[in-house]
Amino acid sequence: MSVTDVALPAGERFPEPGPAPRTVGALLRSLAHLLRDPGLALALLWVGLVVVAAVAPALLAPGDPLAVDTAAHLHAPSPGHPFGTDRLGRDLFAETVHGTGRTLPAAALATAIGLGAGTVLGLLAGFLRGAADLVIMRLVDVLLAIPGLLLALMLVSVLGRGDTVDVGIAIGVAAVAGTARVMRAEVLRVSESGFVEAARTGGARWTRVILRHVLPNSMGPVWVLTLLLFGEAILGVTTLSFLGFGAQPPTPEWGSLVSSGRDFLGSAWWLSILPGTVVALTVLAANRVSRAFDGERTERR
Amino acid sequence: MSPRLLEVEDLAVHYRARRGPVRAVEAASFAVGEGETVAIVGESGSGKSTTAYALLGLLPKSARVIRGRIGFDGRDLAGLPERRWREVRGREIALIPQDPGTSLNPVQRIGAQVAEALRLSGGADRRTARARTLELLADAGLPDPAVQARQYPSQLSGGMRQRALIAIAIAARPRLIVADEPTSALDVTVQRRILDHIGALVRESGTGLLLITHDLGVAAERADRVLVMRSGAIVEQGTAGEVLSDPRDPYTRSLIDAAPGLAKTPRPHRVRLTAVPGGAPGDPFAEPRPARPPETGGGPDVPVLRVEELVKEFRLPRAAGRATAIRAVDGVSFTIPRGRTYGLVGESGSGKSTTARLILRLADPTGGRVLLGEEDITGTRGAAQRLLRRRMQIVQQNPFASLDPRRSVEQIVTDPLTSFGLGSRAQRRARARELVDLVALPASVLGRRPAELSGGQRQRVAIARALVLNPELVVCDEPVSALDVSVQAQILDLLAALQAGLGVSYLFISHDLAVVRHIADEVGVLHRGRLVESGPTEEIFAAARHGHTRELLDAIPGRR
């Protein structure tokens, strides 16, 4: 193989393209750009705290969350007990922090199922088209026709082992439809692109076209959906455990904490309100971060 | 000289960007007189559109007029507040936008959109609007205004939509019309009629016209005076005749050289390749065999491609009393000798891209045969069809869509090798280096992604990808129509040089006869799916027999 010698006048050569933008500096700059928005910075901080609480709760709330202190039951929030204590004198802050370790993994499982199954279904429907598209999308329509929470309730009753894994699976299945639709729309767009035709002309097999070209270029909107879905899953998981599915007492979990405080709303408001606020803030923070990613994506287009 | 309508002095527009300001326009000074047509010519990124939008107060938020005066009728428009702009924009200065496909509201009838422009500018009230609308549509050259006024944009052709936009632009009898590439999305013959019409309107009404175009041929033919812009600065300014016959700036000279329609004879190709990369056709890593293997189709006497009576019909949704199918390709036959170029020319909808897809086996023909070498490939599918890909490759029209944005240039170029499992990783890498060098790109692009390359560089990458398998035939589907003229010329030179060096054959598809003239040995003209004329390129240029060919030839800007 001889390398071809191209006799080009000097001016015919293209100038070297500018420096590649993918450097650590650029990454830091875009991070700084993100943090210029204080609301977003707070949201990121909150998500970070929640993740720490799920992974290493002892860092935020040392001590046993289930330690009973009957002498100090139903104390209002104070410096010693920032969230107050419940009817058995357990520290509500410690319970909330340790409850994260139940709620978050279940929500993560739900998100993974919703994204994974939804992506595969959307990819197949969008790429195969025809009959496969018709069948898959009608199934998705059926899923969409049943309200998500109702579907999840049904599934969790069928699975019926009474732990947070069931709840995660149920919420995840209920979220498949949305992802599948988004994915299908993207796949339809991407498979029309020139580079997919070029890959086919280049002799690529279908599997290679899907995995190397269509999938990576269709995932963008789905990634943005991830955090949004995660927020919704947290809400779904806490709702189901509020209703008594999922983690059984005394295991702390956000939804069951809110639920067990229900009877004391008149006398000890903090029992339901404070864990409930944590849930609300987490969902809001996830939405805010998701929106920021979406904005970044559209800006770059 | 006619009284000055618009006087721009020392205009500077900068864009805010993360890496500091981008100087889009610097120190631009020019004037447009009443009834005068001034053309601004430049390539993409030269600042010509930014200049136009500054005159209309339509700059995006990130842009700012840093300096300068926009004198219009004794007033300075630079720094005018948005509220005051509304009195000028549309009423005194009107815009004919670039893309007729997206510039009309798709859910409103044409008549309603023109009437709205009329009422906003105070040109008519509710009662007179209808009659005036029809008058305007007729002035803009629509054949049957009463019908078109009731139609939606999707029911009109591109040329008719552009006429509707012209009607909107002239609704308020503006004193200056800014036309931003008004015809670059249209077929050449339509382009000529639209430009003729705008010219006539301007002459009758004494309106000033600022024509923004990338096509020096169009500018020279239509404008009284021509400005040439490059990277934000006006490098040349004068009457059309002066600029064309005696360009002072070297950049203008290179633009004139590059413009395919302005040259009287084909340019000699300046690029020469001296050596040929080895390997057998279809597999660059195989040892070249002394005699051509029989399966690749015999000796040099056998043409690389024969197309016989090719037909493709598309079914239409069932409608009462209508034909149930349209023939997109209707009995097309031609032959491409080995190592030569066949140019297929036609307007949009003439069936040229469909023909390409049939040949590449991306679609199934309704009738006819396609022979690659001596092999009939018309009905191949599955593995046999996949093997064909090693012998035929494609270079697509839009280099911004034809490269996977998430992969590096090296991955893109070697993709066909990886698909066929040819060579080791090191061999593929070496082959990518070789090809990138062959298409005259620096080796440093191998690690880059397409987004970091210019349009011309991307098209070079696409050419490298098409050649990586040593194909016998490359189908070039409008390979230069998305590129600036000077880049066009470079890519055409490159294609010609590659053919001389590698002996590859091309099917070259284009809407532009002037471009085809520079590259093709033979030309076929497609009109509504039929091949109406075919023959050696120079014969067709010297003595076209078919009326449609002559119409296409006449429409080449700058040829009169």
DSSP output for B213-260: ES-HHHHHHH-SEEEEEETTEEEEEEEHHHHHHS--SHHHHHHHHH-T
CA–CA gap between residue B270 and residue B499 (Å, rounded): 13
CA–CA gap between residue B517 and residue B559 (Å, rounded): 13
Q: What's chain A's average pLDDT? A: 83
Between these two residues, B331 and A30, which has the higher pLDDT value? B331
Q: Is B498 on the interface with A (CB under 8 A)?
A: no
- Tell me the pLDDT band of A15, cut-offs 50, 70 and 90: very low
Q: Is A211 on the interface with B (CB under 8 A)?
A: no
Does the beta-carbon distance from A7 to B456 stay under 8 Å? no
Q: Is A2 on the interface with B (CB under 8 A)?
A: yes
CA–CA gap between residue A21 and residue B448 (Å, rounded): 10
Specify the pLDDT at position A203.
Answer: 87
Residue with tokens 């300075």: B76
Specify the pLDDT at position B474.
Answer: 95
What is the residue type of A170? A
Specify the pLDDT at position A298.
Answer: 62
CA–CA gap between residue A201 and residue A195 (Å, rounded): 10
Contacts of B390 in chain A (CB under 8 A): 203
Specify the pLDDT at position B240.
Answer: 86
Structural domains of chain B, with CATH: 105-173 (no CATH), 303-315+324-391+476-560 (3.40.50.300), 401-470 (no CATH)
pLDDT tens sequence across A220-241: 888 888 888 999 999 999 999 8
pLDDT tens sequence across A111-120: 999 999 999 9
Closest to A92 measured CA to CA, from A263, A267, A268 = A268
Between these two residues, A123 and B243, which has the higher pLDDT value? A123
Residue with tokens 């413009």: B259
Task: Output the CA–CA distances (angstroms, integers) from residue A296 to A187, A226, A290, in the order listed.
Answer: 21, 15, 10
**Maximum average pLDDT range among A9-13, A120-124, A255-259, B478-482:** A120-124
Specify the pLDDT at position B291.
Answer: 42
| Lowest mean pLDDT across A16-25, A257-266, B86-95, B306-315 | A16-25
Question: How many residues are there in chain A?
Answer: 301
Distance from CA of B363 to the nearest CA of A (A): 12
Between these two residues, A37 and A271, which has the higher pLDDT value? A271
Does the pLDDT of residue A281 top 60, yes or no?
yes
CA–CA gap between residue B59 and residue B70 (Å, rounded): 14
Does the pLDDT of residue A8 top 60, yes or no?
no
| 3-class secondary structure, B335 | strand
> In this complex, which of B276, B386, B398 lies closest to A194 when CB atoms are compared?
B398
Residue with tokens 């307007």: B347
Question: How many residues are there in chain B?
Answer: 560
Size of interface A-B (CB pairs under 8 A): 134
> In this complex, which of A14, A21, A203 lies closest to B386 when CB atoms are compared?
A203
Sheet (strand B75-76) strand order: B22-33, B4-15, B63-72, B75-76
Specify the pLDDT at position B287.
Answer: 61
Domain A51-67+81-300 architecture: Orthogonal Bundle (1.10)
**Element at B132 (helix H, strand E):** helix B129-139
**Element at B375 (helix H, strand E):** strand B375-376
CA–CA gap between residue B479 and residue B508 (Å, rounded): 8
> In this complex, which of B390, B406, B448 lies closest to A216 when CB atoms are compared?
B406
Task: Tell me the DSSP string of chain A.
Answer: -PPPPEE--GGGSPPPPPPPS-SHHHHHHHHHHHHTSHHHHHHHHHHHHHHHHHH-HHHHS-S-TT---GGGTTPPP-SSSTT-B-TT--BHHHHHHHHHHHHHHHHHHHHHHHHHHHHHHHHHHHHH-HHHHHHHHHHHHHHHHS-HHHHHHHHHHHH-S-SHHHHHHHHHHHHHHHHHHHHHHHHHHHHTSHHHHHHHHTT--HHHIIIIIIHHHHHHHHHHHHHHHHHHHHHHHHHHHHTT-SSPTTS--HHHHHHHTGGGTTT-THHHHHHHHHHHHHHHHHHHHHHHHHHHHHHH-
Specify the pLDDT at position A19.
Answer: 42
- A interface test, pick of B417, B419, B458 with most A CB neighbours within 10 Å: B419
> In this complex, which of A17, A20, A208 lies closest to B419 when CB atoms are compared?
A208
Does the beta-carbon distance from A202 to B389 stay under 8 Å? yes
pLDDT in 10s for each residue of chain B, 560 residues = 457 889 999 999 988 877 778 888 988 999 998 889 999 998 877 888 889 888 988 888 888 888 899 998 888 888 788 888 888 888 889 999 887 778 888 889 999 999 988 888 777 777 888 888 998 898 888 888 888 888 888 888 888 888 899 889 888 888 999 998 888 777 778 888 888 888 888 888 889 999 998 888 888 888 999 999 988 889 989 888 888 888 888 888 888 877 766 655 555 544 544 444 556 666 777 765 544 444 444 455 789 999 999 999 888 666 555 567 778 899 999 999 999 999 999 887 788 889 999 999 988 999 999 999 888 988 888 888 888 888 999 999 888 889 999 899 999 999 999 999 888 999 999 999 999 988 888 888 899 888 888 888 999 999 999 999 999 999 999 898 888 888 888 889 899 999 988 889 999 999 888 889 889 999 999 998 899 999 999 999 888 888 889 888 888 876 55
Does the beta-carbon distance from B444 to A16 stay under 8 Å? yes
Between these two residues, A100 and B22, which has the higher pLDDT value? A100
Q: Are B154 and B160 in contact (CB under 8 A)?
A: no
Rounded to two decimals, the ipTM of the complex is: 0.73
